[in-house]
A = this chain, B = another copy of it.
Amino acid sequence: MQPEERQKRIEEYLLKAEFASLEELSDQVDASVSTVRRDLGALEEKGTVRRTHGGARILNPKSDEFTFSARETHQLGEKEAIGKACAALIGPNQTVILDAGTTVYYVARHLELKSPQIITNSLPVANLFSGANKAEVVVTGGVIYPRLGVLVGPLAVEAFGKIRADVAVMSAGGISLEGVSNSHGLLIDIQRAMIHAARKIIFCLDSTKFGRPSISQLCGLEVIDTIVTDAAAPAEMLKEFRKHQIEVIVAAGV
């Protein structure tokens, strides 16, 4: 990537996050910390950013945009790790369905470089890619479900009915030996349509989701191809899932 593009992306990231560590930025723009350091030097010269020990801060914060403010999520480390591990499963130029949900959002963040074709009904995910130019992103229609920024309703279901994808990256409210469940009834129809449209089904579930069934049953274990979770997931359950021919990936902690 060219220095200018990298610097612009650093600026953009800082606009959203306000501060960021060098590590974070380095990860974000896929360059070494040294390079990020130099970039920040240039940006500071330009006056848009101020260096701090270990990171940088935006000088002229103007973030009223709707983005998952990268800070407000619990278990950030785990979700980052899951996101990275799951993104590694996606090949370049694949067609990927991305579900709504914070965990999947973190998968999306690691997907930019693969320039896949993406289909989503999540506004935060759409926003993530709206500035980037590499990936082609299809947004399903629908009514905005307040707070979550998910598009729901017949338009969304229809859109998934029309397409076929290589992979669906899903999240859910809970998983047990009986299957996967979710708390928002409205989402169930859409998630079923996603599952129907994709050849391979990956569920991203942080460890808190295990053995915690939610209100509405989404699907049985037999439709799942892969589960990506973090190190705190209960080992016996994972063993059970493996018995069901499910590939279980435990993301390395940070």
A113 at the interface (CB under 8 A from B): no
Contacts of A139 in B (CB 8 A): 123, 139, 141-144, 151
Within 8 Å by CB of A133, from B16, B65, B140, lies: B16
Give the total of A residues in contact with B, Cβ under 8 Å: 47
Copy tally for this chain in the complex stands at: 2
A18 at the interface (CB under 8 A from B): yes
Whether B146 lies near A3 (C-beta < 8 A) is no
Stretch at the interface among A31-39, A51-59, A204-212, A227-235: A51-59
A88 at the interface (CB under 8 A from B): no
Contacts of A4 in B (CB 8 A): 19, 52, 55, 57
A42 at the interface (CB under 8 A from B): no
Within 8 A of B (CB), among A127-179: 127-133, 136-144, 146-147, 149, 151, 153, 155, 159
| A–B pairs, 17, beta carbons within 8 Å | A1-B21, A2-B52, A2-B55, A62-B71, A66-B128, A66-B130, A123-B123, A123-B127, A127-B127, A130-B147, A130-B149, A131-B146, A137-B144, A138-B153, A139-B139, A139-B151, A141-B155
